[in-house]
Structure 1
Amino acid sequence: MNTVVTLLTEEASQASQSVKLVNRQMIVILDFGSQYSELIARRIRETQVYSEVLSYRTTAKQLRQLNPKGIIFSGGPSSVYDENAPQCDPEIWEMGIPIMGVCYGMQVMVQQLGGEVSRASRGEYGKASLYIDDPTDLLTNVEDGTTMWMSHGDSVTQMPAGFELLAHTENTPCAAIASHDKKLYGVQFHPEVVHSLGGFALIRNFVYHICDCEPIWTTEAFVEESIREIRARVGSKRVLLALSGGVDSSTLAFLLHKAIGDQLTCMFIDQGFMRKLEPERLVKLFKEEFHIPVEYVNARDRFINSLTGVTDPEEKRRIIGHQFIRVFEEESRRLGPFDYLAQGTLYPDVIESADTNVDLQTGERVAVKIKSHHNVGGLPKDLRFKLVEPLRKLFKDEVRKVGRNIGLPEEIVNRHPFPGPGLAIRILGEVTAEKLNILRDADLIVRQEINQNGLYHDCWQAFAVLLPVKSVGVMGDQRTYAYPIVLRIVTSEDGMTADWARVPYDVLEVISNRIVNEVKGVNRVVYDITSKPPGTIEWE
């Protein structure tokens, strides 16, 4: 097992043990390399039942220690007949725990239990109508003919002994199967994606009726348990919080202050990459309205100078992360000794910093780094602090619920996500003071117009990107040679996937006209209409 998988397993195990103090129930997702594994976890949590994603290598012995109420096998990129195709511990089938296999997870179940899986004569990708043969149990209240999302080349051609057919599609005879006595279920489609219209009903059936879970993974339960955990771990020691002003670190500040009061010191490092007027607003808000002391550190020159000549986005993140930690260390000596550094790291941060997949040649899970964040990917090995990350297992929507629960104002709760490295990764290529000023002015116009037109809450993020190229333009009968600004406005539920926002043309026109006329150094505005995947929300 490689380092990434070990960390995922250890972190999940530790988190799960603490969560059991609250609800004593959980659903485990065994990940076979699917891009949707974390989405399954999120869908389970939407039923108010806790879930964790673990490696497919997790053993039956390890699972017994976690005592889950149910297990879901994810999909994956492999064929069960590939050499070194990922398989689960065979003892898992004897645990007596309800199991549902999704896509590849279903095929693993069938093969290991004596059935047959073959290459289908026709693959099935995209939407398909699901025709129900047994409307009970897993498919209770799932409408016959409902749309489900397919993505598979292999199909089940013979069910294992004791299994029955639950549903089929036009191209897939065994689209859903079950061994009712053993509570083993398999579905060839992906009920977790939004395109599967009957998917959430199926998931609820599995969680509530088959696994016998109760909806007790609530915001209130999380807050209460987190406060107990923070107090138990920190004791009488002091904690330094990396405050950015976003919903994640602000929620964490409120949560920590609620748990340990004056043992918390919030430090806001102005690295020069914030949006226009944000540093001043943040400090005033926390000090005067929230009455939580904030130490303001102006390190703009230090950060900007450290990026001189740097164009690679990963190198930018690494340098910014390194500078963050070093500034914290230096300033903490001035303020007094601290034992803990608190960060608002979330589950998607962890996922995207080291996405795990299966190497089809070796069968090993490998780390495919999509992007590193300064608060998970850039920490130095000689870090002097111990980390406190109470939000590490939450999705963004869950953090917002926690924020509301503990009194965070809507102004911050509904604030669009903003990357840790800030505008430094929204300026492609080298970062300079001149480019930062251009981007700040353009970004402010984007936010103003999105707000004034009532679109802010319809968007996941809305921002400007500055490209490191120049193009010819004409302004006032004079030739210009200036930068283009890219508008990136997306809709999303959790940041894991996203679609470009269908902003009205007249709004885009106003944004474009204002930027070109009000921001010196820009003569062109373009709109990014790429979804995630294949793109990412940020450009770097």
Structure 2
Amino acid sequence: MEKIVILDFGSQYTQLIARRVRELNVYCEIHPHNKPPEIDKTVKGVILSGSPFSVRDEKSPKPDLSIYRKKLPLLGVCFGAQYLASSNGGEVLPSSTREYGRANLSFVDNTHPLMKGVSDNSQVWMSHGDTIKKLPENTKIFASTADVEIAGYEFENEDTYAIQFHPEVYHSKDGGTMLKNFIVGVCKCAQDWTPNSFVEETVEGLKEKIGNDKVVLGLSGGVDSTVAAVLLHKAIGKNLYCIFVDNGLLRKNEFESVLKQYEHLGLNVKGVDAKNKFYSALEGEKDPEKKRKAIGKVFIDVFDEESHLIEDVKWLAQGTIYPDVIESVSATGGPSQTIKSHHNVGGLPDYMKLQIVEPLRLLFKDEVRRVGRSMGLNEELLGRHPFPGPGLAIRILGDITAEKVRILQEVDYIFIEGLKKSNLYDEVWQAGAILLPVQSVGVMGDERTYEQAVALRAVESTDGMTADWCHLPYEFLAKTSNEIINKVKGVNRVVYDISSKPPATIEWE
């Protein structure tokens, strides 16, 4: 399978580059700059990401690019462009004015391989505090803005290109065209990495990896674990044993409704009520990371206990997807900052003698949906909003009690059902409610109240790496707030979260 390699220098946009490459039906992998992969016949090109570092910083990344230069097409983006310049005799200096935000190309060489189809005056997105003042020898400029003369340049007589803006972000209007020019035009990628090809290759790979072994899978009711289960079922059939755990942190009535959903898929599913075990492990714990780890430990304990009831189980399957991996292990071990850990990423304790299989580990959420669609899963299931693995535990800020879970379940139910009834659910990528660790004064009837405040959150996104808050109608928000306060005992205030990611995250913990 041919691929593009992305070297991660820590940019918040690195995953967006990967998304744009995959939208072209080309497989790509993100690797840390300090662990560049060796070249083999599958690697068709290399992209160098941006970075929060300055190339002038002593501690900035300084990889040896000789393993790629003149052997593979190479594209440097922002920091990558500046590093190519500074490490080859050019000069990078602080910008007189930091360049962040929209800019327009004032010069475009439309004959250049990267710039074919790029319009004159095309808008691009700048995000850097340094700029290239002097180019290395044997280079040529192919794009400029009014403020940045060296916006794009190439090394002559080799397929090495560099741009000081971010083609991967939405605001670079012809960015997709530039990336396609590089990946398809220069790297000659075949664009044959499709959902159908992924299913075929994955099923064959699972058959070879697992053989006749038995696999236990923890279902969550969400898209990821369901698609993983169907892939495994295609590969190993009756040797897949699915367990759906009620951790006491699911949405209202979710345990029963999800078990019903799975009936028609032909999966062997066992429901396990483990609410009290999770509540005991979480008692008095307020720290978000410790809550996640406590939930992860109980999940492992439950699976260990259940797997012992199945003779000769060798594997634990999980619905881990790429954003889980990226946010948990800093972009596959690179310099990107770790935001949070996920309970289903990072291995198993020594006492649990199961190997891990993660069929979706390298897919983004929308890719998982496309794979599910190619296997014939129904749209209602595929259209379900993402729900965090730790469930409502990370939407209850502070410690967890059964009463707090009850309150949040009722609030969440009113919000989600309201979105569906108002035909807004499919316009939202993810929605939920957050129980805040504050109480506020209110008046109900003639009585003063001092009760909980809740926040509603709804975002639009494609993969969860970036997200914008949804501009839900005021009438809908007013009606929802009124219904929550009237129907949910213990809540007297509702607020709406209008933060985008970045700088905020989608979940509050």
Which bracket does the TM-score occupy, shorter chain normalised? Answer: over 0.9
Q: Which residue of 2 aligns with 1:190?
A: 166
* Maintained 8 Å contact 2:248/2:279: yes
Match of 1:37 among 14, 17, 25: 14
Q: Distance in 2 between matches of 1:429 and 1:151?
A: 36
In the alignment, the residues of structure 2 paired with residue 99 and residue 260 of structure 1 have an alpha-carbon distance, to the nearest angstrom, of 41
Q: Which region of structure 1 is more displaced relative to structure 2, 376-385 or 140-149?
A: 376-385
Matches of 1:73 and 1:84 in 2, distance apart? 17
Are 1:232 and 2:212 an aligned pair?
A: no
Q: Which residue of structure 2 lines up, in the alignment, with residue 48 of structure 1?
A: 25
**Contact persistence 1:322–1:378 (CA under 8 A):** no
Amino acid corresponding to residue 100 of structure 1 in structure 2: L
**1:95 Cα deviation after fit:** 4.1
Deviation at 1:66, TM superposition (A): 5.9
Q: Which residue of 1 aligns with 2:413?
A: 444
Provide the secondary structure at the position in 1 that maps to 2:277: helix
For 1:351, which of 315, 318, 326 is the aligned residue? 326
Give 1:61-100 correspondences, 5 Å limit. Answer: 62-65=37-40, 67-100=42-75
CA distance in 2, matches of 1:132, 1:426: 49
From 117, 121, 128, give the equivalent of 1:152: 128
CA contact (8 A) 2:124 2:165 kept: yes
Match of 1:212 in 2: 188
Moved more, 381-390 or 475-484: 381-390
Question: In the TM superposition, what is the alpha-carbon distance from 1:380 to its structure 2 partner?
Answer: 3.0
In the aligned structure 1, how far is the partner of 2:406 from the partner of 2:39? 56
CA drift of 1:356 comes to 5.2
The match for 1:57 among 29, 34, 42 is 34
Match of 1:498 among 463, 467, 477: 467
Structure 2 SS opposite 1:526? strand
Whether the aligned pair in 1 keeps the contact of 2:9 and 2:335 (CA below 8 Å) is no
More helix by share: 1
Give the aligned partner of residue 229 of structure 2: 253
State which of 138, 157, 161 in structure 2 corresponds to 1:181.
Answer: 157
Check whether the contact 2:69–2:160 (CA below 8 A) recurs between aligned residues: no
Q: SS at 1:65's partner residue?
A: coil
- Alpha-carbon distance in structure 2 between the residues aligned to 1:167 and 1:356: 30
Query: How far did 1:354 drift?
Result: 2.3
C-alpha distance in structure 2 between counterparts of 1:460 and 1:367, whole Å: 25
Say what the alpha-carbon RMSD is for the aligned residues.
1.6
Deviation at 1:367, TM superposition (A): 7.0
Q: Distance in 1 between matches of 2:401 and 2:378?
A: 34
| Post-superposition CA distance 1:308-362 (Å, at most 9, x none) | 111111111101000000110111112323100000000000111122599xxxx
Which residue of 75, 86, 91 maps to 1:111?
Answer: 86
Of residues 382-391 and 237-246 in structure 1, the stretch that sits farther from structure 2 once superposed is 382-391
Q: Please tell me whether the aligned partners of residues 318 and 377 of structure 1 are also in contact (alpha carbons under 8 angstroms).
A: no
TM-score by length of 1: 0.92
Distance 2:199 2:389 in 1: 24
Give the match for residue 17 of structure 1: none
**Shift, 1:58, TM fit:** 3.5
Classify the secondary structure of the residue corresponding to 2:341: coil
Question: In structure 2, how many angstroms separate the alpha carbons of the residues matched to 1:469 and 1:133?
Answer: 55
- Whole-Å separation in 2 of the counterparts to 1:280 and 1:122: 59
Q: Structure 1 residue 299: deviation in Å?
A: 0.6
**Could you tell me how far 1:445 is from its partner in structure 2?**
0.5
Is residue 2:247 matched to residue 1:271? yes
Closer, same or farther: CA 277–66 of 1 in aligned 2, 3 Å: farther
One-letter amino acid of the structure 1 residue matched with residue 30 of structure 2: V
The TM-score with structure 2 as length reference comes to 0.97
- 1:318 counterpart letter in structure 2: K
Deviations 1:471-503 (A, max 9, x none): 111011111111111101111121001111100
**Cα-to-partner distance string for 1:254-293 (whole Å, 9 max, x where unaligned):** 1111111001001101111110111111111212x22212
From 115, 122, 129, the equivalent of 1:139 is 115
Aligned pairs, how many? Answer: 508
Matched, 1:120 2:120: no
Match for 1:481 among 450, 459, 464? 450
**1:372-521 mapped onto 2 (5 Å cutoff):** 372-377=341-346, 379-521=348-490
Quote how far apart the aligned CAs of 1:424 are.
1.1
> For residue 223 of structure 1, what is the aligned residue in structure 2?
199
Q: Give 1:465 deviation, angstroms.
A: 0.7
CA distance in 1: counterparts of 2:335 and 2:332, whole angstroms: 5
**Letter in structure 2 aligned against 1:141:** G
Distance 1:58 1:407 in 2: 39
Q: Is the 8 A contact 1:122 1:171 kept in 2?
A: no
Asked whether the equivalents of residues 20 and 176 of structure 2 are also in contact (C-alpha less than 8 Å), the reply is: yes
Q: Aligned pair in 2 of structure 1 residues 413, 357: CA closer, same or farther (>3 Å)?
A: closer
CA contact (8 A) 1:340 1:386 kept: yes
Contact 1:321 1:379 in 2 (8 A): no
Counterpart contact for 2:468–2:501, Cα < 8 Å: yes
The equivalent residue for 1:5 is none
Q: Does the CA-based 8 Å contact 2:206-2:235 persist in structure 1?
A: yes
Q: What amino acid sits opposite 2:365 in the alignment? A: K
Distance 2:346 2:340 in 1: 8
Could you report, residue by residue, the CA deviation over 1:215-272 in whole angstroms, capped at 9, with x for unpaired residues? Answer: 1011111100000110101011000011001000000111111111001001101111
Structure 2 portions without partners, runs of 5+: none
Deviations 1:131-186 (A, max 9, x none): 23311210100111111110111111222222111111111010011135201110
- Range with bigger deviation, 217-226 or 104-113: 104-113
User: How has the CA–CA distance of structure 1 residues 334 and 93 changed in structure 2, closer, same or farther, with 3 Å as cutoff?
Assistant: closer
Instruction: Report the 3-state secondary structure (helix = DSSP H, G, I; strand = E; otherwise coil) of the residue aligned with 1:468.
Output: strand
1:85 deviates by 2.2
Q: How far apart, in 1, do the equivalents of 2:254 and 2:347 lie?
A: 24
**2:325–2:331: 8 Å Cα contact kept in structure 1?**
no
Instruction: Give the 3-state SS of the residue equivalent to 2:128 in structure 1.
Output: strand
Q: 8 Å contact 1:33–1:357 — kept in the other structure?
A: no
SS of 2:438's partner is coil
| Correspondence for 2:286 | 311
Contact kept? 1:318, 1:378, Cα under 8 Å: no
| 1:467–1:485 contact (8 Å) kept in structure 2 | yes
Distance 2:347 2:246 in 1: 18
Could you tell me how far apart the structure 1 residues matched to 2:206 and 2:68 are?
37
Fraction of identical pairs, as percent = 50
Q: Indicate conservation of the 8 Å contact 2:11/2:336, yes or no.
A: no
> SS state of the match for residue 89, structure 2?
coil
Q: Structure 1 regions of 5+ residues with no counterpart?
A: 1-19, 359-364
Work out the CA distance in 2 between the residues paired with 1:368 and 1:339.
34
Residue 463 and residue 94 in structure 1: after superposition, are their counterparts in 2 closer, same or farther (change >3 A)?
A: closer
CA contact (8 A) 2:31 2:332 kept: no
Amino acid in the other structure paired with 1:480:
T
| Secondary structure of residue in 1 paired with 2:114 | helix
Corresponding residue SS for 2:308: helix
Alpha-carbon distance change, 252 to 261 in structure 1, aligned in 2, over 3 angstroms: same
How far residue 369 of structure 1 moved from its aligned partner, in angstroms, is 2.8
Shift of 1:383: 3.4
